Amino acid sequence: MSDILSFASDYLEGMHPAILKRLAETNLVQTTGYGLDPFCDSAKEKIRAACDCPEAEIFFLVGGTQTNATVIDGLLASYQGVIAAETGHISCHEAGAIEAGGHKVLTVPHTLGKISAKVIEKTVRTYITDESRDHLVMPGMVYLSQPTEYGTLYTLEELTEIHNVCQKNGLRLYVDGARLAYALANETNDVFLPDLARLCDAFYIGGTKCGAMFGEAVVLTRRNLIPHFFTIIKQHGALLAKGRLLGLQFDTLFTDGLYETIGRDAVRFAGRIQSVLQDNGYDLPFISPSNQVFVTLSDEKKSRLDRVIQTCFWEKPDDEHTTVRFATSWATTKEMVEKLISVLIELK
Amino acid sequence: MSDILSFASDYLEGMHPAILKRLAETNLVQTTGYGLDPFCDSAKEKIRAACDCPEAEIFFLVGGTQTNATVIDGLLASYQGVIAAETGHISCHEAGAIEAGGHKVLTVPHTLGKISAKVIEKTVRTYITDESRDHLVMPGMVYLSQPTEYGTLYTLEELTEIHNVCQKNGLRLYVDGARLAYALANETNDVFLPDLARLCDAFYIGGTKCGAMFGEAVVLTRRNLIPHFFTIIKQHGALLAKGRLLGLQFDTLFTDGLYETIGRDAVRFAGRIQSVLQDNGYDLPFISPSNQVFVTLSDEKKSRLDRVIQTCFWEKPDDEHTTVRFATSWATTKEMVEKLISVLIELK
Amino acid sequence: MSDILSFASDYLEGMHPAILKRLAETNLVQTTGYGLDPFCDSAKEKIRAACDCPEAEIFFLVGGTQTNATVIDGLLASYQGVIAAETGHISCHEAGAIEAGGHKVLTVPHTLGKISAKVIEKTVRTYITDESRDHLVMPGMVYLSQPTEYGTLYTLEELTEIHNVCQKNGLRLYVDGARLAYALANETNDVFLPDLARLCDAFYIGGTKCGAMFGEAVVLTRRNLIPHFFTIIKQHGALLAKGRLLGLQFDTLFTDGLYETIGRDAVRFAGRIQSVLQDNGYDLPFISPSNQVFVTLSDEKKSRLDRVIQTCFWEKPDDEHTTVRFATSWATTKEMVEKLISVLIELK
Amino acid sequence: MSDILSFASDYLEGMHPAILKRLAETNLVQTTGYGLDPFCDSAKEKIRAACDCPEAEIFFLVGGTQTNATVIDGLLASYQGVIAAETGHISCHEAGAIEAGGHKVLTVPHTLGKISAKVIEKTVRTYITDESRDHLVMPGMVYLSQPTEYGTLYTLEELTEIHNVCQKNGLRLYVDGARLAYALANETNDVFLPDLARLCDAFYIGGTKCGAMFGEAVVLTRRNLIPHFFTIIKQHGALLAKGRLLGLQFDTLFTDGLYETIGRDAVRFAGRIQSVLQDNGYDLPFISPSNQVFVTLSDEKKSRLDRVIQTCFWEKPDDEHTTVRFATSWATTKEMVEKLISVLIELK
């Protein structure tokens, strides 16, 4: 609707054409509500297969904050909190939804959005060795995002170490996969769906930012991990009446491996944008391997950029500069990227 | 997907074809997220016009329970509760979502799903005259549904009386319009959108059951009635990333008066089904003027019906009978109704 | 401090003299905080013995509403509610503390404050047979008070039936014993501490109204019934720093059977007041066997009574009458009762 | 009860003898419950006078965590959080009570337990300048403790600066005075009760650690700052039935300036202990001007100390050392201090 091209986020457009097509084809089909329909059944079956986890219980929710709040509430006892990076989405960008559910987010230091098995271990040690620990919030689970809010990726080795420290200390491990398709599509990535299913207690496969209109697929990797989770979802206002809409979207995304490939162009485009920025002397606070690129601009340059390209505010490192984010997505085209690159070169 | 015809609910199908069409047309348009897009702006303007309430603030949420929990939480102070019919949706069918938000539902007796100004007044009197009232939950607002869970309608006179008793006693008035289109489409109805906007503090215009894929439009009838409601929505996990989907749906529903007429056939069909049931000696627990019809069957008859028509369980009045609900909707066709009627006549 | 004699409640005075004596004797003794002291240890041992329940875990809290909110929160899963009489203390006189903790109170009809195994069974049946039960709040426990808010007592047979229906249906049984001493002291009572320990999952032995300055002793009748209950107590702001104060009080109350006898005079006095009221033609809404007596007066008579005797407002049955409560307690003396009786005879 | 002398905390003993005396004298006096009694009235009047704040509303609660959770819940809107030092009591030692009430603690860096106007300003700036601020928790108030958890004191200048930054940014200012008597008794202190009443929206005067058996006096420095706070207290399970106990204690503490002087010896003793430690080459992580002294010991020395003196675990700086806290209190005697000093000299 806007005249100017936007790279502000990866949820700027509607849905992958294959989803739109099936939505049209099935529009007047009658189904039962609340996810108890054949579309959901089929999608669940395909996700179980893709995760190589026949025991998995799958639930479809609408959005990311909702999913995090509901799953975390389901996994934690009232006296437990969730360990997360200071930069974790639940730590700072969910308007206190976790706390509104009664739980503390136990923030720990990060490296480019990632936390380590070591820092988790240390947090647990500090709790256990504190003689007043019964007056503290007990660490009950670990929250990661893959890719992280900085676009970085946990390696299989790192995730395995985190899994091990969780197992050893009775912590549940949960991965927020809002942008999971962009991790899976990355050439350097070595963490795949079966790895997540094997190493995590729960994770979610993001739809909203990865080709769906909306929707996130929660994978609970063991039966009855969260008893009565259906009712917990309902209580959180997170149960979609026409659940079939979610089923149909994930059924499409998990047909012919679409989900695993849908992010490829986006990651390639982001890499190219990042190279151009580097080649042209832009100030990149860090290198991101995923579909997000971060750059720090003087406010003067930023206001010139704003006239032609929409970006996302990230933070203000000082009073005269702003860090912005460019996000590519499944809907980004070569033409859009070329346009952006020419603007960036000119702006330099 | 099922072989048998279903009258189980009014959210069995996808969306009105006009919405599907616009969804397809605008699919790759880029917009900002979270409801800050031109589709939402346009929809809000149309709803303000339809409500004759230029001051109204409009917010789009995804589902009914979510909307009720979020609005009620926004309207109540921590020490207040919400008055509702014992049969109100928030009282019994929302898995405790209101209580999960910290608020008590103060249930009062009903007549076919409706509560009266008198019973509200009495509840407030009991609170005020109790010398221990500071130990009680203070009534802070009234929750109604129009139509009610029994399909009955408040008249303009009844709603005005309730408005007056709320004004007099400092109670907020909130109307759940999950099925509002079916009230508006009823020939006997005399409560229209401008009446709701004039008499209520807040209400919601239901989309999910009234032609939309999903979505409910909250109308706050005065500016700043709920400060920071955007953040409250986010905290409840109720903020849709691609808010434009909601805007587009309501923009379509409020173009050329579609919303006001979309329920007409459904109401007419329901009336016809009800007449046929009465004419054929079925046991109707009460008469419903809206798109829902209730009938009590012996369990034997019910199991025969189940083979050809899907219905919704309502309650078990005794061990040998079941009351079921038939719901029509915007998607119900003449052929479907004729099929149902012939089944009912045969089953008699 | 007031010139007029008060029968308004059973928490008008300070503490039993034996407690005051020990408080003075031990005032400057140093102990660890939070209930981890020898006074608490000793009190717990005595309570376990009195309950004939060596496995019991005992926790001391400060007040009744706090205890109910903390125990119920500890016993329920997030998706569960607590069954209670409409007249139960948690249903109406705790300012929504249970709901503030996120749980619904599932109110059921009562007879003079008591609920029956039958009504509990019916509530569970309704839940189980409802095909939409996953959208409802699951009954997770039963809350009773002994004596009830009407001063009535559950018999051993009634409590056993309730225990059985709870066992059969996976419900936890919890008894609020705010005034338990007055039940135990009643000649007609046949439910003793070992019965409560055998039939309930949890109950509390009231101190505040039964001779202590303050304090309630929670008895969890099985080990680890509520994991990390200490932390849950802390989280509810219910952990007293100088827990020894609670230990010392209950240690005194459970020395030489003081708790079992402390209510005897109060019950006898209440019986005598009730007889005098009946003999003098007063309007008693019901007969209460415990330390509470209820009488309905014209507002004119009430205002005359108010000049000489303080009572507790109970309810207004109509615009011209008020029901009031007289409560006796461990601190009530023969002289106080005689004074009240002479006033009542004169007022007649 | 223990054979060994304890400096573990400042709540090891019962109550100041003057309180015990009045408790005995008034034990059988009848009063109304819930703080509506003459003892409370008198105490409130005296506190208003001591604070030079005739408009103040005073409420008595039982313990510190309870008081913090209740006041913070009363002051914040649902979408707001509370700024506190990382080391603040609410941040780490209250078992998540603030989060259980639905609010996020927005932790900020500290210097020896104190936070600065500057860091508060920066936190607010970061919030305001973030274009996504509607997705964040809004800072709504500031929590300080005086003295802090490190025993340090805010100066009048520092508190005034914090007051100013709060005023400027619409933040409420709340001071936790759990150990306030030890601040007031400090020679270097220049923040007195009228300063707190003038600069804060709310604060509490600690009783539990300052001579009372238990109890904290909340001072709301403007009328109706928290509407219906009585009910909010009840809802939090924080309303003591026999409120007169709290009134009597604070009435005694605020008679003849007892509260302002009760901490003098404790502060002097702590200073002397600290000097001895320094003179003897102990490793003090920092100097504390209040009634708490911190020292880091090798675990070997600690275990020798443990045999004769009880201390409080503070933290483990590494695997071979432990930092412990010695606390003095109103009940500490010269003899106890001399005993400790001789032990420390010998242990050196």
* Predicted confidence (pLDDT) per residue in D264-304, tens digit: 999 999 999 999 999 999 999 999 989 999 999 999 999 99
Is there a contact between D1 and C31 if contact means CB atoms under 8 Å apart? Answer: yes
CB contact under 8 A, B235 and D79: yes
- How far apart, in whole angstroms, are the C-alpha atoms of residue D148 and residue A224? 45
Q: What is the pLDDT of residues A51-95, one digit of tens each?
A: 999 999 999 999 999 999 999 999 999 999 999 999 999 999 999
Please, which residues bridge with residue B107 across strands? B84
pLDDT of residue C348: 84
B4 and chain A: CB distance < 8 Å anywhere?
no
Contacts with D, C 272-331, CB within 8 Å? 310, 331
The single-letter DSSP state of residue B135 is G
Nearest residue in chain D measured CA to CA from A81: D96
Q: Are B120 and B162 in contact (CB under 8 A)?
A: yes
Per the listing, tokens 């055998």 go with: C198
Q: Are A7 and A310 in contact (CB under 8 A)?
A: yes
A275: enclosing H helix or E strand: helix A264-279
Residue A67: enclosing H or E segment and its boundaries?
Answer: helix A64-75
For D165-176, what is the mean pLDDT? 98
Nearest by CB: D134 against B77, B79, B230: B230
B273 CB contacts (<8 Å, ≥6 apart)? Answer: B293, B326, B328, B337, B340, B341, B344
pTM of this prediction exceeds 0.95: yes
The per-residue pLDDT for B284 is 96
**CA-based nearest residue to D29, from C12, C326, C269, C249:** C12
A321's tokens = 């500069």
The answer to whether the CB of A139 falls within 8 A of the CB of A106 is yes
Nearest by CB to residue C96, choosing from B104, B129, B130, is B104
Positive or negative, the Cα torsion across A103, A106, A112, A115? Answer: negative
- pLDDT tens for A243-280 read 999 999 999 999 999 999 999 999 999 999 999 999 99
What is the enclosing helix (H) or strand (E) of B216?
strand B216-220
Q: What is the ipTM of this complex?
A: 0.97
pLDDT band of residue D65 (cuts 50, 70, 90) is very high
Q: Is C102 on the interface with B (CB under 8 A)?
A: yes
Q: Does B102 touch chain D (CB under 8 A)?
A: yes
Alpha helices in chain B (DSSP H): 17-25, 38-50, 64-75, 89-92, 97-100, 117-129, 156-169, 180-184, 193-199, 229-235, 244-253, 258-261, 264-279, 299-306, 334-347
Q: How confident is the model at residue A2 (pLDDT cuts 50, 70, 90)?
A: low
- Name the band, by pLDDT with cuts 50, 70 and 90, for residue D348: confident
Angle between helices B334-347 and B264-279 (to 10 degrees): 10
Please determine, for residue D330, whether its predicted confidence score (pLDDT) is greater than 70: yes
Q: Would you tell me which residues 133-152 of chain D have a C-beta closer than 8 angstroms to some C-beta of chain B?
A: 134-136, 138
Amino acid of residue B38: P
Mean pLDDT of chain D: 96
- C-proximal residues of D, 32-61, CB under 8 Å: 32-33, 37-39
Cβ of D313 within 8 Å of Cβ of A130? The answer is: yes
- What's the mean per-residue pLDDT of chain B? 97
Q: In a mutagenesis test of the C interface, which of A59, A73, A134, A233 is the best target, namely the one with the most C β-carbons within 10 Å?
A: A134
Tokens found for residue C334? 């023969």
pLDDT of B348 reads 85
- Nearest alpha-carbon partner for A283 in A249, A322, A254, A248: A322
For position A291, what pLDDT does the model report?
A: 96
Question: Taking residues D178-199, what's their average pLDDT?
Answer: 97
The amino acid sitting at C175 is V
Q: Would you state the pLDDT for residue A204?
A: 98
> Which residues of chain B lie closer than 8 angstroms to D74, CB-CB?
78
- Look at residue A281 and tell me whether its pLDDT is greater than 90: yes
Tell me, yes or no, if A95 comes closer than 8 A to chain D by beta carbon. yes
**Cβ separation D78–B230 shorter than 8 A:** no
Each residue of C224-251: b (16+ CB within 10 Å) or e? Answer: ebbebbbbbbbbbbbbbbbbbbbbbbbb
Q: CA-to-CA distance for B203 and B144, rounded, in angstroms?
A: 9
- Phi, psi angle pair for A85, to nearest 5°: -60, 145
Could you tell me how far CA A130 lies from the centroid of its own chain?
34
pLDDT in tens, chain C (348 residues): 457 899 999 999 999 999 999 999 999 999 999 999 999 999 999 999 999 999 999 999 999 999 999 999 999 999 999 999 999 999 999 999 999 999 999 999 999 999 999 999 999 999 999 999 999 999 999 999 999 999 999 999 999 999 999 999 999 999 999 999 999 999 999 999 999 999 999 999 999 999 999 999 999 999 999 999 999 999 999 999 999 999 999 999 999 999 999 999 999 999 999 999 999 999 999 999 899 999 999 999 999 999 999 999 999 999 899 999 999 999 999 999 999 999 999 998
Tell me: pLDDT of D148 over 70: yes
Contact check, Cβ <8 Å, D81/A99: yes
**Coil/strand/helix, residue C160:** helix
pLDDT digits (tens, 9 = 90+) for A215-228: 999 999 999 999 99
Reported as a single tens digit per residue, the pLDDT across A137-152 is 999 999 999 999 999 9
Residue B136 scores a pLDDT above 80: yes
Confidence of residue B122 (pLDDT cuts 50, 70, 90): very high
Residue D232 contacts B where some CB pair is shorter than 8 Å: yes
Closest by CA position to C250, among listed C57, C58, C33, C12: C58
pLDDT at B3 over 80: no
Which whole number is the average pLDDT over B129-138? 95
